[in-house]
Every structure is written in C-alpha cells, then in structure tokens.
Amino acid sequence: MIGAEAVGAAKETDLKPAFLEAVMLVERVHRRFLDVVKDELERLKHVEVNAVQAVLLYNVGDADLSAGELKSRGYYLGSNVSYNVRKLTEAGYIVQERCTRDRRSIRIRLTERGREIAAIVGNLYERNARTIGDVGLFGASDLRQMTTALQRLDRFWDDQIRYRL
C-alpha cells in the first residue's frame, strides 16, 4: 500500500509541469493580446499610444475615478498606472482634476481623444468575441470554465501574499 506522503509526492509531480505551463501560457497570452491591440492601433494609424495605454483608456471608459481605483479595477502595477496616466494626460487623452470633496485626491476621466482610443479597443474586443464564436474556437461555457480557473488561481496567489502561506 502506498503511503499518504508518496501519494502527495506523486500528485505534486503530476501537477507541477501543468502548473508551470499554465502560468507561462497566461503571461504569453497577455503579451499576445497586447500585440493584437498594438497591430490594431497601427492599422488605424494611432501610433501615439501604446497597447497598455490603449487598454488603460478602455478600462477608464466613461468613469471618473482615481488612479488607485484604476489600479484595483484593471490590475495594473502602481508605477505603471502613474507613468501611463501622466503620459496620457500630457498627450491629451486624460484629464486630471482634484476631487471637490477631498482635495488630496486626483480624479481622472477621458477626453474625446481618449474615448476614441477606448472605442477602438472596445470594437476590437467585440470583433474578437464574434470571430471566436463564428469559427467555433470555443463557446461561452469554455470561457466561463477558463475564467473560473483563473479566478481560483488569482485567489490562491492573493491568499499566499495576504496570509504568507
């Protein structure tokens, strides 16, 4: 009879390669997505913003929010958000204003130029979703399963950090 330690070791051996492949694939898929956004921007001759900035503009959308809210909403790194918000403000895609209730807080919103770029990314999302469905690459249930798995992994890593597991 195999002991519990041997069973645990066998499960770990089986799981580790799949886990590492999944983590690497998530990173590669994200980079590939940014390449798709970049290609779309170039095709439409909007080379003044990069793909990360374009997705950031999309995530701001019609909201009026702080950089901290954008960070928590879009899962950007803090310095990445600050840098990109500053660059997008300088280029006229975002307006920054002090909050009337809390003068320490800066609120951001899109300008008309920013809304144009956000619409390009939104149209790209629409077209990609439609094409994925049309070619039968996978369906909504496949995407829900993938999302559930990624949410579980996100929660697992969050717990690792929060509770120092």
164 burial class (0-12, 13-18, 19+ CB within 10 angstroms)?
A: exposed
Q: Where are the alpha helices (DSSP H) in 44-90?
A: 51-60, 67-74, 78-90
Q: Which token pair is 138?
A: 């996978």
> Which pLDDT value is given to residue 4?
60
Q: Is the pTM of this model over 0.85?
A: no
| pLDDT: which is higher, 45 or 99 | 45
> Which pLDDT value is given to residue 93?
98
- pLDDT at 119 exceeding the cut of 90: yes
Between CA 143 and CA 36, with CA 145 as vertex, the angle to 5 degrees is: 30
Give me the CATH code for the 21-163 domain, please: 1.10.10.10
Instruction: Report the share of the chain in percent with pLDDT over 90.
Output: 68
| pLDDT: which is higher, 127 or 2 | 127
CB atoms within 10 A of CB 18: 9
For every residue of 84-150, DSSP letters joined together read HHHHHHHTTSEEEEE-SS-TT-EEEEE-HHHHHHHHHHHHHHHHHHHHHHHHTS--HHHHHHHHHHH
What is the residue extent of each domain of the chain? 21-163
pLDDT digit string, tens, across residues 13-35 = 689 999 999 999 999 999 999 99
Torsion angle in degrees (nearest 10) through CA of 93, 99, 65, 155: 140
> Which pLDDT value is given to residue 64?
87
pLDDT digit string, tens, across residues 61-100 = 998 888 778 777 765 666 688 889 999 999 999 999 887 7
Q: Is 139 in contact with 133 (CB distance < 8 Å)?
A: yes
Cα 66 from Cα 95, distance rounded (Å)? 11
